[in-house]
Structure formats: C-alpha cells, structure tokens
Amino acid sequence: MSSPLPSSSSSTLLQFNPLPTTISPSFWHALTSLKLNHLRLSEDAIPVMGSYTVGRVVKDRRGGEKGRIVELGGSLSLLEEGLGGGAEAPAEGISVGAHFPTSSASSSSRLSVTVRGMLRNYNTAPQFTSADKNEIFSDLAQEILNDLLTSPDPLDAVTRFTVLAFADLKKYKYYHWAALPALIAQPNWQTSSPGWKSLQEEWTGKGEEEGEVSPRRMQSLAEAFKEHWQRYRGESEAGFCLVKVGSEACQVGMVRDFQTFFAGVPNEERVVLFIDPSATPSVPGWPLRNFLALLSVRFQVRQIRVICWRDELDDNAVGERSIIGNVFLPAEEGQSGSRVVKGDGSLPIAATQSDSARPVAIGWERNTQGKLAPKVADLGPLMDPRRLADQAV
Amino acid sequence: MNAIQTHFWAVRDYLAPVLRESKFKEHGRITPEEFVAAGDFLSYKFPTWSWSAGEPSKTREFLPKDKQYLISRGVPCLRRVSQIESAALGGKKGKGRAGGGVAGDEKMLSFAEGQDGVEGTGGEEDWLATHLDDQQQLEEVGEIADIPDNDPPAGAASLTPGEEDALASQVAGTSLSTAAGEDGDGDDAEVGDIPDMDDEDDDEDGLGGMGAGVVEHDDPATLAPPPSTAAANASTESASSSNNLLSVRTYDCLITYDKYYQTPRMWLIGYDESGSPLKPSEIFEDISSDYAQKTVTIEPFPHKSGLSTASVHPCKHASVMKKVIERMDQGVIEEQKRLRAGGGSSGGTPDEGVAGGAAVADKKKKKKW
C-alpha cells in the first residue's frame, strides 16, 4: 500500500462475480396483467426495479463439523412491485402495485440495494429473436458511461440493467434475458497482494500496518454505514459509500461528494464500500465493476481500497464476512488496447474497434451452461388453470 | 377434481368465522392478532422474514393491510430428497432428508399426518430430524455428495407419479431429447440452453436461436462460471468444486394465515440454480414422497390472483401444535431451548437452509406458547 502502483508481480487480476437474476412467478404474473391491461401490443421499454442482497454462505450440514461451505451469491431479483414504478413511468396507469421503495423493501431490514432497469416485452418470439440485442446492449453501455461521467446521480447508472422478454401468455412461458452491462477497464484492475482479507481480521486483528487499532472502529463503521443505508434505502445510493477510516471511528460519505469528502486524505487511505452480492471468497460482485469505472472516469481514481460488505447489519458479528482489499489500475504497458476518448484525453475504459467514443461492455446473463442464451420460466404448471386442474390431490 | 375441491375450500374459508379468542393452548389454533404478533416477532428476530402486503384486491380484512403474509426469500435447499433417501435411516420412512431441505420442513409442519404412532417416539425428533440425519450420514457424505444432480434420482422406485414425470423429463434432458411431453424440460435439462422445441412451438431455433447474434468476447476479469476453475486463487477453486457437487435450489417460503383452519399455512415457491421458477413436479423432488401430493399440494396462493404454488395443507397443523404444546408442558423445554438455539443461528445468518426457516416458523408458534 505504500507504493500506489505495485509491480504486476505482486498483484493479481481483479475478477468480478456476475450477478444472476431471479425472477419470481409473481413478477411474471404482474407483467401478464400489465401487458393485457396496459401495454397490449406496445413494445416500448418499461421501467422495472429489482434489488440484490448481500451474498450468503451456508454450511452444508451433511458434512457435520467439517461441513463444506456453500456459497449462495446474491441475485438480482425483479419484484413485481417495481413494475412500472420507475422514475419515468411511460404512461399513466401503468404502475402496478405499490411503489417499490416504500412497500416491501422497507418492511424488511435485510441489506438490499434497489436498482433500476428497463424491460422490453416483445409480442412474438421472432421479434424477440430478431431484436438487435447487440445494439440495445451497446446503447445501454454508452448511456451508462455518459451517466457515470455527467449524471448528478451516477450510482443509478452503476447498476443499470435491461431485460428482454417474450411472454407466451397462452402457454404461460416467459422467455427472458437480462443484461447488466459492465464497462471493461483498460487496462484491467489489479488487486495488490496479499489480496482480499477479512475486514475483521484486518481491523481488529494484529493490525501490523494499521498501527493503532481499535475494535470500536469496526462498530463505528457498521453504525455509520447502517445509517447511510437506511437513509438511502430504495435507491442505488444505499449500496455504495465512501469511508474515511480513523483510528477509532469511521465516517461515511456519499459517492458524489468524492472530492470534498476525501479532501486532504492521502490516496492510500481512501476507502470505498459497496454491498457485495458475491459470496465467493476473494471475488467481489458485479456492481463493483461499474463502481470502479465511475471512480476512475469521474474522480480519476487509479488506486483505492475497497470494502466488499457482506454482512447483515443486525448481526453481532459485524464485519465477519466482509472483505477488504486494495485495487489499482496498473500503468499501461504499451498500447495494449484502444481506450474511450473523451475530449483531449482518454478514459481507462476499453473502446470498441470501430468507434473510439463507444465503450466495450460485458454482462449478458449466461444460462446454467454458461452460454449466452435467454432463460425461460415455464409457469404453466403454476398458472394455467387447465393444468392446475390436472394436479392430483 | 382438485378444482372442485379448491372451490369448496374457498367457499368454506369464506364462510368460516374469524377466530376471535385465543385457542392456542387448547387447540393449537391462533387468532389473526396472534398471527400478526407472531409474525412481528419473527421478522424482528429474524430479518430474513418480512411482511408482505400481497395484491390489494386479495387483502384479507382481518389482517393489517401491510401484514398479509410473511415471506423469506432465497432459502437454500442443497439436495433433492431422492439423493438423501438412498441414504436414509432404514426404519424410519421418510426421515432421511436433504440437509436442511424443504422436506424436513414438511415433516416438521405436518408430522402428525397419520403418524401418531411415530410421534410417541418421534415428536421432538421430528423437529430435529435434519440434524440427526446429518450426523448419521456423516460417513456416507463423501459418497453421496458426489452424486451430481443430473443423475436420475436414486430413490426413483418410490416416486410418486409427479416425480416420475420429473424423472422422465430429467432422463429426457440428459439424452438431449426434450420430447418429454408437457412438463418437458427437466430441471437439469435446464430450459435455457437445449433448443426448446417444446410442443407445438414451431420455433425451431428455440432459446439458442433467440440469443443468436449476441457475442461477448472472453473477458479475463469476469469470474468464470463454476465448472471451469479459471480463477486465479485457490479459494475460488474450492468454491467452484463445491458448486459442482450440489445443485442448490432456493425457495421463497411464505406463511399465510388460514382462516378456516385458524393456523399459519406454509407455501413454497422454488427456483432452480439459475433462478428460474420450479415446476410443481420439480418442487416435489424436494419433498418426501410421504408428503408430496398428499400433505403438500399445489394450491392457489391466496394473496396473488392466478398464482398457484406448493403448500402444506394445514388440516393437521392445529393438532400438531397442540401436541407440541403438551410436550412442552411436559418439560421438554430443554429440547426447545436447543431448537431455539438452532433457529437463532439460522435466522441471524441464514445458514441452515429451509429447515432453518421452518425452525423459525415453528419458533414463531412457540413464542406464543
């Protein structure tokens, strides 16, 4: 940490754990009635909301004492309450159910982050098939980059997603494909050795390099972050914050205040925190990817300490599963790839071959086989009255 | 048949008076107020549970508008019941359960079903069965755990018709033929990828075709999906391998108040590993055949129109609760404390699977006692 740009030998490539989607039957049910009653044949994109929670781990109890730890990464769940509840409801009367942030999200005290996206529901399978997905994706990536650069609320763009769907209402089959575009950094972010460490260990353990260590610091961070999360719950803001680490107490700040909040704080001591849906040790979740992009394009961050927050806030053992690590953008070795050009400079974001203003992104959801293809939810057995009648009692 | 019965139940439910006086100690039944109080306590103690309002048109007037039912999302179910049953305890039918699987939960909520005999020895055991099994299976774990989910369930012989269906579709899936009929895609055939030439759907391309044209170049910074251990460090590697062995389904557990039976009622909505909703036949893979389609059936969920899902029929619930109360009166409190401890850890850090959730649900009832 003393040298902001360690040599590549002491660092590893920072990887991100993709965020899969989980879509409940009731979401499709809500979409069905929305389509029948309001959308009808419209294929316009409609705003949807989703949320993700911290990843979890469960112990496989069949292993007894030595039970294996099974990771249960968080997933992006689309909630029917969010259908049409976005900021820019396209038409009157489209909202279904209550507005998301005030209803179900607030009744649960589980740590979750609300995210916004768009859903395009195609009328026919061929339309779904022939939709120019690459263009939709690339446009969204461009929009994300623009918002990261200029939007007053850039965190909204960090987690923006899109879902393409085709609802076969007669058969109660819902084809869908989600994409969470993440801008590709150029060069890629690196984790400095020794890599990710447990936050608790780092802060309340020996504390070699931290010098003064107080167990209260952990508590202080948890409290400050909890306050931050509760204030902004229902917004993407809740999932990300800045942390000023003192020897005893921690302060958290809003990401948009980066310059003022970290004024006078040396680069090496700047810490950011995000709610991490990944449960894989040493691999942070997908939202960090655009978050780092935001930090790098908007605040010229080249090195930062990151806390991947993985604990529920009500736990007594706060910080047990959260991890902390130092990430940096290595100095570019030659011209390894084209970067997005903006004004007279370039951003540390990979650009497409053809157009140096367009960012490269990645993030179509893969199916179970790891292939790029839509998923299908077959709800016939759960929703089709005819087939329900066939279920034996 | 089912439809008629369902309608009958709906009418009966409508006609049934709302219970006003607490009958918990006498009959194991509870009033809506008690349900709300218990739910408040449950969600306070275990934030994985939260109240939900449901569909406005389906609001039950005897419950507060924003507290119609309880939901706990994403409760893991690590194994199919068939994987466990092969290793089950010999004499006790259906006692071998997925480590914290939904099945255990079934049993816990419905063990009185024709099992009064068992109950004499097994009343409390039922509550703890998942733990017991876990320990007994310790030795076998290596062997069992390695069975990937794609294998046809070992317990196929004892499958109910619904499960046979699922089995058939699984087999169909593994041989890359999706002609398994209406319930076509087995869990592992995994809808997504095998060209979904289902039924009369003429979309020959299926899903693969639907995704045509989308190409993403290899990205070293994206964590590879579990099967390939491309990750840079050892911890990721071990994580991947453990994922290989288990197909972790998740369940949304919902608890409603059943007006006719005056008890809480458990509902389950399942998802496969990729987050797609499970079909009933697949849900029954997680429920012991003792209960699948008997105690556990697919019913319309009362707070969403047009949605049906698996539910534990509540007819025996009250008598079970009553027995529990009696047992507790007989000084089984120690046992309860242990369970409480178990439930506690599951609620705080939801690491105990569905059974953990069920333990919580049970705890909820106990709290009233």
> Which residue from A minimizes the CA distance to B281?
A381
B308/A383 CB distance under 8 A: yes
- The pLDDT tens digits for A3-61 are 444 444 578 899 999 999 988 888 888 888 888 888 888 888 899 999 898 888 877 76
Asked whether residue A127 falls in the same domain as residue A215, the answer is no
Q: Does residue B263 sit within a domain?
A: yes
Q: Which of B315, B332, B340, B344 is catalytic?
A: B315
- The pLDDT tens digits for A132-163 are 999 999 999 999 999 999 998 899 999 999 99
Asked whether residue A127 falls in the same domain as residue A276, the answer is no
Give the H or E element holding residue A276: none
What does the mean pLDDT of chain B come to? 62
B210/A281 CB distance under 8 A: no
For chain B, the domain total comes to: 1
- The pLDDT tens digits for B218-257 are 788 888 765 433 333 333 334 434 444 567 888 999 999 9
User: What's the average model confidence in pLDDT over B110-137?
Assistant: 39
User: What's the average model confidence in pLDDT over B165-182?
Assistant: 38
For chain A, the domain total comes to: 2
User: What confidence score (pLDDT) does residue A118 get?
Assistant: 92
Residue B40 touches partner A, C-beta closer than 8 Å: no
User: A146-151 long-range CB contacts below 8 Å, 24 or more apart?
Assistant: A148/A183, A148/A290, A148/A293, A148/A294, A148/A297, A148/A298, A149/A297, A149/A298, A149/A342
Q: What is the DSSP string of B75-137?
A: EEE-S-HHHHHTT--SSSTT----TT-HHHHHHHHHTTTT-HHHHHHHHHHHHHHHHHHHHHT
Higher per-residue pLDDT: B260 or A209: B260
User: What confidence score (pLDDT) does residue A286 get?
Assistant: 94
Q: Note which residues in 170-199 of chain B have CB less than 8 A from chain A.
A: 182-185, 190-193, 196, 198-199
Q: What is the DSSP string of B10-30?
A: HHHHHHSPPP-S-BHHHHSB-
B315 tagged catalytic: yes
- The pLDDT tens digits for A320-363 are 788 999 999 988 665 557 888 877 778 888 888 888 888 999 99
Cβ-Cβ contacts under 8 Å, A15 against chain B: 220-223, 231-232, 236
Asked whether residue A325 falls in the same domain as residue A370, the answer is no
- Residue found under tokens 């294929």: A43
Asked whether residue A332 falls in the same domain as residue A238, the answer is yes
User: What confidence score (pLDDT) does residue A33 get?
Assistant: 85
A376/B207 CB distance under 8 A: yes
User: What confidence score (pLDDT) does residue B189 get?
Assistant: 37
Asked whether residue A175 falls in the same domain as residue A196, the answer is no
Q: Which residues constitute the domain of residue A69? A: 21-182+362-390
Compute the radius of gyration of chain A from its Cα atoms: 22
From the list A70, A369, A381, which residue is nearest B190 (CB)? A369
Report the alpha-carbon distance of residue B243 to residue B130 in Å, rounded.
Answer: 21
Q: Does residue B225 sit within a domain?
A: no
User: What's the average model confidence in pLDDT over B45-71?
Assistant: 86
User: What confidence score (pLDDT) does residue A336 get?
Assistant: 59
Q: Which residues constitute the domain of residue B31? A: 19-138+248-368
B236/A280 CB distance under 8 A: yes
User: What confidence score (pLDDT) does residue A65 get?
Assistant: 56
Q: Does residue A197 sit within a domain?
A: yes
User: What residues have CB less than 8 Å from B56, skipping those under 6 apart?
Assistant: A97
Asked whether residue A171 falls in the same domain as residue A198, the answer is no
A367/B193 CB distance under 8 A: yes
From the list A103, A175, A371, which residue is nearest B53 (CB)? A103
Quick one: pLDDT band at residue B352, thresholds 50, 70, 90?
very low
Residue A385 above 60 pLDDT? yes
Higher per-residue pLDDT: A102 or A26: A26
Quick one: pLDDT band at residue B104, thresholds 50, 70, 90?
very low
Q: Does residue A313 sit within a domain?
A: yes
Asked whether residue A192 falls in the same domain as residue A291, the answer is yes
Q: Does residue B224 sit within a domain?
A: no
User: What's the average model confidence in pLDDT over B17-45?
Assistant: 83
Q: Outline where A151-180 has alpha helix (H).
A: 155-158
Q: Across-strand partners of B253? A: B72, B268
In B206-285, where do the E strands start and end?
A: 249-258, 263-271
Asked whether residue A151 falls in the same domain as residue A262, the answer is no
User: What confidence score (pLDDT) does residue A355 get?
Assistant: 82
Q: Is the dihedral of CA B255, B258, B264, B268 positive or negative?
A: negative
- The pLDDT tens digits for A259-295 are 999 998 888 889 999 999 998 888 999 999 999 999 9
Cβ–Cβ under 8 Å, residues A170 and A32? no
From the list A23, A283, A367, which residue is nearest B223 (CB)? A283
Q: Does residue A351 sit within a domain?
A: no
Higher per-residue pLDDT: B115 or A75: A75
- The pLDDT tens digits for A189-235 are 999 888 898 888 887 665 445 544 567 788 888 889 989 998 998 88
User: What's the average model confidence in pLDDT over B187-199?
Assistant: 41
Q: Does residue A355 sit within a domain?
A: no
Q: Does residue A347 sit within a domain?
A: no
Asked whether residue A265 falls in the same domain as residue A328, the answer is yes
Q: Does residue A328 sit within a domain?
A: yes
Asked whether residue A279 falls in the same domain as residue A296, the answer is yes
Asked whether residue A246 falls in the same domain as residue A137, the answer is no
User: What confidence score (pLDDT) does residue A391 get?
Assistant: 55
Looking up residue A376, the CATH number of its domain turns out to be: 3.40.140.70
Report the alpha-carbon distance of residue A64 to residue A47 in Å, rounded.
Answer: 46
Looking up residue A266, the CATH number of its domain turns out to be: 3.40.140.100
Q: Does residue A34 sit within a domain?
A: yes
From the list A168, A375, A393, which residue is nearest B1 (CB)? A393
- The pLDDT tens digits for B81-99 are 777 665 544 434 333 333 3
- The pLDDT tens digits for A155-185 are 999 999 999 999 998 888 999 999 999 999 9
Asked whether residue A61 falls in the same domain as residue A178, the answer is yes
Q: Note which residues in 265-284 of chain B have CB less than 8 A from chain A.
A: 269, 271-277, 279-281
Cβ-Cβ contacts under 8 Å, A314 against chain B: 47, 348
- The pLDDT tens digits for A60-80 are 766 555 667 778 888 888 877
Q: Does residue A273 sit within a domain?
A: yes
